[in-house]
Amino acid sequence: MIRKIDHIAIAVKDLDSAIPHYRDTLGLTFLGTEEVPDQKVRVAMFDVDGVHIELLEPLSQESPISAFLEKKGAGIHHIALGVTDIEEQIAGMQEQGVRMLDTAPRPGAHGTRIAFAHPKSFAGVLVEFCQKED
């Protein structure tokens, strides 16, 4: 079951130059950075009253974010919905005919397990389902 909007992810070319805009200019609470090797990204997370803004910087040309930046430029990459049971969510989406990019959960940032649905299933929006580990 979907519980909430977990985060909105924004692709950026340079995390270090983007962080001050969100932290200092907007005054958002900066939660820190981390690398997610599975996704080949470095992530910065900010809190906005329980909903997060996640900045994504590619670590290599093989990163999906690198391809996104080349094709579309910096901007909103995906919306993430927090779920209570990621396996159940994936199965439910598949039963409803949603094209899933991930048919099994994989590691995400901040101790989450994630799975993406294809943008064609949601009017061009890349949707991530994420479950926080207890």
Q: Would you state the pLDDT for residue 134? A: 66
For residues 43-68, average pLDDT: 95
Structural contact between residues 130 and 112, judged by C-beta atoms closer than 8 angstroms: yes
Distance CA 28, CA 70 (A): 28
pLDDT (average), residues 35-48: 93
Once rounded to an integer, what is the mean pLDDT over residues 26-38? Answer: 95
User: Model's pTM, two decimal places?
Assistant: 0.90
**pLDDT tens per residue across span 71-128:** 999 999 999 999 999 999 999 999 999 999 999 999 988 889 999 999 999 999 999 9
SS3 string of the chain? CEEEEEEEEEECCCHHHHHHHHHHHCCCEEEEEEEECCCCEEEEEEEECCEEEEEEEECCCCCHHHHHHHHHCCEEEEEEEEECCHHHHHHHHHHCCCCECCCCCEECHHHEEEEEECHHHHCCCCEEEEEECC
Fold category of 2-132 in CATH: 2,3-Dihydroxybiphenyl 1,2-Dioxygenase; domain 1 (3.10.180)
Task: Please state, for a pLDDT cut of 70, what percent of the chain lies above it.
Answer: 99
